[in-house]
């Protein structure tokens, strides 16, 4: 079995609701600024790989606890989605926590959709077999 990096495991455990979003927020908040930036970019990569949609962004925003008027929230519900998620990851550090909540919640929606469609029954992805 493939050993996952700590950040990869945490992000996927939150996405699969093996850990709560609040546990993810605690983990993220304990990271240094460079590590936080790296985690945001890692989530963006996962969103791209899972083929995120604006509809995923809307559903994720509802779960994130971030007000719809905040910058990451405004960006996640607009096309082109791949450009927008990149902008969210590139926001200033005072926006990192809101960016994490929005990106992480959106990844949870996107990854759930992917697991229920593309990976149903025969998935061998290490990150989809955590429980």
pLDDT of 29 higher than 50: yes
pLDDT tens profile 38-61: 999 999 999 999 999 999 999 999
Dihedral of the CA atoms 71, 76, 79, 84 (nearest 10)?
A: 70
Which residues are CB-neighbours of 74 under 8 A, at least 6 positions away? 68
pLDDT band at 5 (very low <50, low <70, confident <90, very high): confident
pLDDT given for residue 80 in this prediction: 97
> Which residue in this structure is represented by tokens 């990869």?
8
Identify the CA nearest to 16 among candidates 122, 118, 110, 120: 110
SS3 96: helix
Question: Do the Cβ atoms of 57 and 77 come closer than 8 Å?
Answer: yes
Q: Give the predicted TM-score (pTM) of the model.
A: 0.89
DSSP assignment letter at 53: -
pLDDT band at 33 (very low <50, low <70, confident <90, very high): very high
pLDDT of 69 higher than 60: yes
pLDDT tens profile 120-131: 666 555 454 555
pLDDT given for residue 123 in this prediction: 59
């Amino acid at each position: 079995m493939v050993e996952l990096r700590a950040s990869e495991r945490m992000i996927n455990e939150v996405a699969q609701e093996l850990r709560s979003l609040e546990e993810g927020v605690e983990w993220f908040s304990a990271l240094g600024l460079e590590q936080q930036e790296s985690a945001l970019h890692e989530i963006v990569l996962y969103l791209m790989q899972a083929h995120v949609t604006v509809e995923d962004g809307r559903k994720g925003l509802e779960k994130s606890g971030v007000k719809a008027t905040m910058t990451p929230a405004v960006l996640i519900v607009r096309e082109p989605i791949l450009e927008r998620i990149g902008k969210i990851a590139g926001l200033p550090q005072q926006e990192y926590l809101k960016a994490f909540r929005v990106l992480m919640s959106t990844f949870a929606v996107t990854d759930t959709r992917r697991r229920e469609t593309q990976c149903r029954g025969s998935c061998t992805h290490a990150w989809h077999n955590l429980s």
